[in-house]
């Protein structure tokens, strides 16, 4: 039993670290939503979270990461979907299925979500140039992870770049329509149609990736 205690303590430390990580980010996002991203300093975020600036930067290397951590869990989502696909299911079919499932659930990653808190977050994100620029780095890592899942050959890297770009365009189109005043329910049918069209184009242009 004694041999298990260090592992248990490590598990508790990791859980505490994750809770701190989430609490600091959520506090920062609340401040950014209230006053604007550029009008809140890192020092103010650290003070509100009752931690030092050096500690904050250990959790979040850049101010933008305080907002974009919500994308961290999705960085390798496309890669995970491809890796976990059923026998006989192609990567494109698996990604299509996953995106359509996301639309049905109203997953914010698909852009098809009209929950007020999600819309406020997305307006903060897409309305702040430095956050948009930082988002491209996250998408670059998604692309690299997907390329590795596909095999990491040149054709796999080309395919991954196109797939991630298509998913981004689909999500942005859905979000723009909802931001303009349509409901998720109103957008759903055309969002599915657009997704189906996108995957047909990917399949036609890329062929099935084995």
**pLDDT value of position 5:** 47
pLDDT at 15: 78
**Alpha carbon distance 128, 39 (integer Å):** 12
Residue range 13-47, pLDDT digits in tens: 777 777 888 889 999 999 999 999 999 999 999 99
pLDDT < 50 positions in the chain: 1-8, 209-210
- What pLDDT is attached to residue 2? 46
Query: 176-181, long-range: CB within 8 Å, 24+ apart, which pairs?
Result: 176/111, 178/111, 178/112, 178/113, 178/114, 178/119, 179/119, 179/122, 179/123
pLDDT of 93 reads: 96
How high is the pLDDT of residue 207? 52
């Amino acid at each position: 039993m004694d041999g298990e205690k260090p592992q248990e303590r490590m598990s508790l430390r990791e859980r505490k670290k994750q809770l701190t990580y989430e609490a600091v980010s959520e506090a920062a996002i609340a401040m950014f939503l209230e006053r604007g991203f550029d009008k809140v300093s890192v020092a103010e975020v650290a003070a509100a979270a009752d931690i030092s600036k050096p500690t904050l930067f250990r959790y979040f290397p850049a101010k933008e990461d305080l907002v974009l951590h919500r994308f961290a869990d999705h960085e390798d989502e496309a890669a995970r979907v491809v890796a976990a696909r059923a026998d006989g299911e192609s990567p494109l079919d698996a990604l299509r299925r996953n995106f359509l499932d996301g639309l049905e659930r109203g997953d914010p990653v698909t852009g098809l979500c009209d929950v007020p808190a999600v819309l406020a977050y997305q307006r903060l994100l897409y309305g702040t140039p430095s956050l948009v620029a930082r988002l491209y780095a996250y998408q670059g890592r998604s692309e690299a992870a997907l390329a590795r899942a596909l095999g990491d050959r040149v054709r796999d890297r080309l395919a991954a770049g196109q797939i991630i770009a298509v998913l981004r365009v689909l999500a942005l189109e859905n979000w723009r329509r909802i931001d303009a005043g349509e409901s998720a329910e109103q957008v759903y049918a055309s969002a599915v149609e657009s997704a189906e069209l996108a995957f047909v184009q990917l399949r036609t242009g890329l062929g099935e990736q084995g």
